[in-house]
Amino acid sequence: MSVAYRTGKALRRTVVQAVPTIFGIIVLCFLLLQLMPGDVADVLAAESGSATKETLAAIRGRAGLDDPILTQLGRYLWHVAQFDLGSSTRFGTPVSHLILERLPNTLVLMLTALGLALGLGIAAGSVMAIYAGRWPDRVLQVVVLFFYSTPGFWVGLMAIVLFSVQLGWLPSGGSMTIGTTPTGLGVLRDRVPYLVLPAFAMASFFIAVYARLTRAALLEVLRQDYIRTAVAKGLSPFVVQTRHALRNALIPVTTVAGMHLGNLLGGAVVVETVFSWPGMGRLALEAVTGRDFNVLLGVLLLSSMLVIVTNVAVDLLHAWIDPRTEAP
Amino acid sequence: MEPDSFWQRHRVLRSVLRNLSFVAGMGILGVVALVAIAAPWLFPGDPLDMVAMPTLWPGEDPAFPLGTDSLGRDMAAGLAHGARVSLLMGISAAAIGLMIGTAVGALAGYCGGWVDNLLVRITELFQTVPTFLLVIVLVSIREPSAPAIALAIGVASWPTVARLVRAQFRSLRSADFVAAALVSGARPSRIIVRHILPNALPPIVVTTSVMVANAILTEAGLSFLNLGDPNLVSWGSMIGDGRQLLRTAWYLTALPGAAIALTVMSINLAGDGLNDVLNPRSGSQ
Amino acid sequence: MGIIHDAGRNAPIGLPVTRRLALLGGSALALAPRGLRAEPRHGGTLTIALSSEPTALVAATTVVTPTLSVSGKVTEGLLRYDFDLNPQPELATEWSVSPDGLRYAFRLRPGVKWHDGRDFTSADVAFSLLLLKQVHPRGRSTFANLTEVLTPDPLTAELRLAKPAPYLIKALAGAETPILPKHIYEGTDPTSNPNNAAPIGTGPFVFKEWVRGSHVIYERNPNYWDSPKPYLDQLIIRFIPDAAARSAAFETGQVDLGYRTPVGLADVERLRRHPDLRFETKGNSYSFNVTKLEFNLDNEYFRHLKVRQAVAHAIDRELIARVAFFGNAEPCASPIAPGLREFHDPTPSPYPFDLAAAERLLDEAGLRRGANRTRFRVPLDFNPVLDEARRLCDILRATLGRIGIAVDIRAQDTGSFVKRVYTERDFAFTTNGLSNLFDPTVGVQRTYWSKNFIRGVPFSNCTHYANPEVDRLLEEAAVENDRARRAALFREFQRIVAVEVPDINIASPAFLTIHNKRVHDHSLTANGIEASLADAYVDA
């Protein structure tokens, strides 16, 4: 099967599957949200410290909360079909604005974390596999097991204490120096220090996951016949390991990484809270506590689409890594 | 059971006991479980009671060897009782996830066709929604009591198992011994329970250990966001409470953090050991 | 209950320096260097930390706390208030109230311009007050008696009231009653007006940008009417939701200022030792809070006076102030906070901490200890907005356990809490916080007045308390023009509710403003940080 054929097939599959999946997600989430006690008017009134019946009624009227649930669902689906995510009752602005303002931040954080996790994870996993049973493997196994067993937010908090409070090397929160407008490389110089700690806190668990997967996959591949053949043919072990073995070991790692995107976004909720990172995870959390359902549905919808797209990308990546693999 | 699988079991048992990481993991886990079980006798009374001066450092007062928290509650008692909650939470959430996942995966993998198609779609649906967000929504629907939290974590964690079980079933369905059973006219339910499930078990067992570990970590995350059960001491809630004093009384965060890391590590060690033994070609599904 | 609430304005302008020093109060450390400094410094940036994001930048259609925190920087009010809530000029330079309390006349400041260059006139005042009466969450009650606003000339506004409203003169701070630009709001839907997110006002700061989830930036208004103020070039408001992260931001100097105890109470003592940080208690008198325990009087146990009295006997206010609030609270047995000195009754609770008395009352009520030495088991809810709520519940759970009342704490988020307590009334008792706001009629009456037993409305009378005598006292106080008589009515009210214990008032939190030592003159009025900050300046 050619890569082009696979690409076409994958894209068709995406379109065919994405629409019902997204429809399902909207319906599922919409109904789940109806089960939550209290609504946006209750929360706004509570946060205001006082309210009148009329104010509450006005808020509910604006949000259309008095209509039957099916009417609300139908209206929402109708709007989504026209690429309209509705507007936030809490902020009185379109949901698309709220999300678009945060999307870049979230993508930067997630991609950095994912890159960090894959890079460090695969590197550590490779070292562990190559030195399997010897001391670098033993040491790394303990380190990896530690990260595998420790909550990411705890790693983040400890990192704040060490790197920003004690050492003063990195900022403790935020995504950029507010009030300045750097240009060109200055943007990078300004943003990167803010990115390091949250990305690491978010990545820590996944570094461990990928390191373990890489190690296991590599060990398995290294045992297989064609590797032995390659070594027998006189290729240097390093070439064999990188070119043949790692390439094949990457398949399980990337599959899992694709599946992890959703988890990563979930983890962003906590990490963004710890580091005051203005991303979608926090937006989602605030939408839950604020009962701002349009915003929450918008975030869920978008993150789901992100996961779907990533899975397709992973399929394509597999076609590139190993043309023999079949689409699942 | 056929004698065949009996023999296999003994072999498995022997190699399991020779596996260092399994033995170490189970050893630590055993100690934790023992503490959890003995907590009501070791530390009678409510661990949420304020019994001494607040923020006593470990060792400062021999009566409270691990110190007290910001409300003067005994850390040692909290950790012991917390072990109960964290382990129970992990196990019950994993059990719920395992049950749903196995049922869905077995059905999908065994039936194939439209049933498979539909169930795969539903699985994908749940897998597409960010897990932690789903848990938060589920917890917010009911008040955060321990059973509600376990249920929420379980409900959000089943898709992994479902995929795994389905894959196993699909590959086993065409295996010779299943085909033989089918030919001999056995009922599908019997084939699933007697033949396929036991053979699909090893990877499921290993995944379960990961699920227990993740459930404990998820509960800690929920407590961090103040979404835990306020009537119980869990290690997660202890971190949440101690977090504000991180820089003056770091032991408040460090001790339960260490307890989580140790327990989760022991579960993972045991899981790794099991994996090595049950799945000698190593599971990289 | 509503923890939340304030509004306000900045410092008494033109007071002699000595008086300003006295007003500044606060820590001796802050005073000493001030005496040496002659002139406030121009320039610089001040960064304020908030724990959550405003829903709008103008407190017109919403009064959530973070909106109140920012609104006054751009949108001013007619008056501002000193620490004792005495009115001071802001957009109004002079004012008078007729002896019958039915006519208020305001002389407006001449030469004031909106940020878009238009003139500020009495038409804006009339438009704003009548609009707020419709759309402001508290406007409906604050301005209930307001019938019309006359504008005989562009610099005069006269309010006509149907009944006296003695609290009205205290409600005119910028954050509570913002004066809006008529030409922007007229003929629009005020709740979705773009001005709410990018405001134009008369204030010392001009809105620059709002990056959602991150910050708001304001810049100096060079044409401010109170030249040479403001002193700051730039004002940055950052949203930092995590308390530990806020602490870190204060320590590392990333934020300069925060109010209403902007860090976890548990962290306060440690931060006090930080060389660059200072603590200020002034500037919080526009909304004193009282933390309390509210009973559901329809509950099978708490409908009995003896049971409530027993619970009251089990409340150790000193211990709670020390442990739940880490000492940052004043024990308070009255629903009216000690800060509202004119009205507060300092008499201690008739039911002092006495577990033996509590047990006796429970025995008398027929609730004897049964299995596990437990008399009965009840759930305890708490308003999640309060930092101290969880610790307070833990303490109550422990002490009530000692007199045989088994308590299960029930956690829930704000939406669920409101639904449970105010809509479904599916609760036994709950800890809550009540903001006194600027006056007991506005802030306290609502939870005791039987006519305010309204399902579904937060911070209404959720206990279902109904006492005709209390109703009468509250209603009379609401329209009593004589200050002394009004105070006496409120004292009698406090005496009755203290005896009948529909709720147990526990403590009034001492809100702390934390600032970097480089920041000065930020808390000169009753609602310091929520005021305009025109006087604030920073060292280089």
Q: Give me the phi and psi of B147, to 5 degrees please.
A: -60, -40
Alpha carbons A265 and C221: distance in angstroms, whole number: 41
Query: Cis before residue B40, ω within 30 degrees of 0?
Result: no
Pick A182 or C208 by higher pLDDT.
C208
Would you say B116 and B166 are in contact if contact means Cβ atoms under 8 Å apart?
yes
User: Which residues, 6+ apart, have CB-to-CB distance to A78 below 8 Å?
Assistant: none
Chain B contact present for C103, CB below 8 A: no
Partner-chain contact C391 B50, CB within 8 Å: no
Examine the pLDDT at B282 and tell me if it is beyond 90.
Answer: no
B contacts of C398 (beta carbons < 8 Å): 46, 48-50
Residue owning tokens 């609290």: C167
Nearest-CB residue to C413 (from B54, B140, B244): B140
| Alpha-carbon distance A274 to nearest alpha carbon in chain C (angstroms) | 6
Mean pLDDT of C315-326: 92
Residue owning tokens 């890569």: A3
Residue owning tokens 């909650």: B85
Examine the pLDDT at C30 and tell me if it is beyond 60.
Answer: no
Chain A contact present for C266, CB below 8 A: no
**pLDDT level of residue C507 (50, 70, 90 thresholds):** very high
Mean pLDDT of chain A: 81
Task: Of A17-21, A40-44, B148-152, give the lowest mean pLDDT range.
Answer: A17-21
Q: What is the ipTM score, two decimals?
A: 0.81
pLDDT computed for residue C284 by the predictor: 87
B3 class by beta-carbon count within 10 Å (0-12 exposed, 13-18 middle, 19+ buried):
exposed
pLDDT computed for residue C20 by the predictor: 35
Q: Give me the phi and psi of C505, to 5 degrees please.
A: -80, 135
Examine the pLDDT at A256 and tell me if it is beyond 50.
Answer: yes
Rounded to the nearest 10°, the torsion over CA A25, A31, A34, A40 is 20
| Alpha-carbon distance B244 to nearest alpha carbon in chain C (angstroms) | 6
By percentage, how much of chain C surpasses pLDDT 70?
Answer: 93
Chain C contact present for B144, CB below 8 A: yes
Chain B contact present for C319, CB below 8 A: no
Mean pLDDT of C123-134: 95
pLDDT tens digits, residue range C410-456? 888 888 999 999 999 999 999 999 888 889 999 999 999 999 998 88
User: A91 to each of A48, A190, A299, A301, how far by Cα in Å?
Assistant: 14, 29, 15, 19
Partner-chain contact A21 B128, CB within 8 Å: yes
| Alpha-carbon distance B61 to nearest alpha carbon in chain A (angstroms) | 27
Q: At what angle do helices B197-224 and B131-141 cross, to 10 degrees?
A: 70
Partner-chain contact A178 C56, CB within 8 Å: no
Q: How many alpha carbons fall within 13 Å on the CB side of residue A109?
A: 33
| C433, β-bridge pairs | C291
Mean pLDDT of A10-27: 78
User: Which residues, 6+ apart, have CB-to-CB distance to C414 below 8 Å?
Assistant: A38, A42, A43, A46, A47, A289, C383, C384, C385
Would you say B79 and B138 are in contact if contact means Cβ atoms under 8 Å apart?
no
Q: Give me the phi and psi of A163, to 5 degrees please.
A: -85, -30
Would you say C77 and C172 are in contact if contact means Cβ atoms under 8 Å apart?
yes
Mean pLDDT of C472-497: 95
Chain B contact present for A254, CB below 8 A: no
A-facing residues of C in 9-28 (CB < 8 A) are none
Radius of gyration of chain A (CA): 24
**Other Cβ atoms closer than 10 A to B170:** 15
| Alpha-carbon distance C267 to nearest alpha carbon in chain B (angstroms) | 6
Alpha carbons C110 and C324: distance in angstroms, whole number: 50
Task: Return the residue of A nearest to C49 by Cα.
Answer: A276
Q: What is the DSSP letter of C113?
A: B
Partner-chain contact B284 A217, CB within 8 Å: yes
Examine the pLDDT at C266 and tell me if it is beyond 50.
Answer: yes
Task: Return the residue of B nearest to C400 by Cα.
Answer: B49
Examine the pLDDT at B3 and tell me if it is beyond 50.
Answer: no
User: Which residues, 6+ apart, have CB-to-CB distance to A34 below 8 Å?
Assistant: A69
| C329, β-bridge pairs | C509
Examine the pLDDT at C319 and tell me if it is beyond 80.
Answer: yes
Mean pLDDT of A304-328: 70
Chain B contact present for C394, CB below 8 A: yes
Task: Return the residue of C nearest to B72 by Cα.
Answer: C323
Partner-chain contact B225 A270, CB within 8 Å: yes
**Other Cβ atoms closer than 10 A to C371:** 5
Alpha carbons A144 and A137: distance in angstroms, whole number: 10
Domain residue limits, chain B: 3-46+58-282
**pLDDT level of residue C34 (50, 70, 90 thresholds):** very low
Question: Residue C86: which of C284, C346, C286, C336 has the closest Cα?
Answer: C286
Partner-chain contact A303 B129, CB within 8 Å: yes
- Best A48, A270, A299 member to test C by mutation, with max C CBs in 10 Å, is A48
pLDDT computed for residue B10 by the predictor: 65
Distance separating the N- and C-terminal Cα atoms of chain A: 14
Partner-chain contact C239 A283, CB within 8 Å: no
Mean pLDDT of chain C: 89
Stretch (H or E) spanning A158: helix A152-159
Rounded to the nearest 10°, the torsion over CA C330, C334, C340, C341 is -90
Q: For B3-46+58-282, give the CATH class.
A: mainly alpha
Question: For residue A214, what are its two tokens?
Answer: 């890489």
Partner-chain contact B247 C412, CB within 8 Å: no
Examine the pLDDT at B247 and tell me if it is beyond 70.
Answer: no
pLDDT tens digits, residue range A197-238? 899 888 888 898 888 888 888 887 777 666 667 666 666 666
pLDDT tens digits, residue range B68-94? 877 778 888 888 888 888 888 899 999
pLDDT computed for residue C107 by the predictor: 96
Name the neighbours of C, counting chains with at least 3 Cβ pairs within 8 A.
A, B
| Alpha-carbon distance B191 to nearest alpha carbon in chain A (angstroms) | 25
Q: How many CB pairs under 8 A join A and B?
A: 134
Alpha carbons C349 and B12: distance in angstroms, whole number: 71
pLDDT computed for residue A267 by the predictor: 79
Name the neighbours of B, counting chains with at least 3 Cβ pairs within 8 A.
A, C
Q: At what angle do helices B146-173 and B131-141 cross, to 10 degrees?
A: 140
Q: How many alpha carbons fall within 13 Å on the CB side of residue B6?
A: 3
Residue A275: strand, helix, or coil: coil
Partner-chain contact B129 A165, CB within 8 Å: no
Which fold would CATH assign to domain A101-289?
MetI-like fold (1.10.3720)
Rounded to the nearest 10°, the torsion over CA B233, B239, B244, B249 is 100
Chain C contact present for B23, CB below 8 A: no
* Range list of H helices, A35-94: 40-48, 53-63, 69-81
Alpha carbons C48 and C2: distance in angstroms, whole number: 23
Sheet containing C146-153: order of strands: C92-97, C103-108, C156-161, C146-153
| Alpha-carbon distance A98 to nearest alpha carbon in chain C (angstroms) | 7
Task: Return the residue of A nearest to B128 by Cα.
Answer: A304
Examine the pLDDT at C373 and tell me if it is beyond 70.
Answer: yes
Chain A contact present for C71, CB below 8 A: no
Pick C281 or B124 by higher pLDDT.
C281
Alpha carbons B106 and B98: distance in angstroms, whole number: 11
Partner-chain contact B260 A150, CB within 8 Å: yes
pLDDT tens digits, residue range A40-91? 888 888 888 777 888 888 888 888 888 888 898 998 999 888 888 888 888 8
Name the neighbours of A, counting chains with at least 3 Cβ pairs within 8 A.
B, C
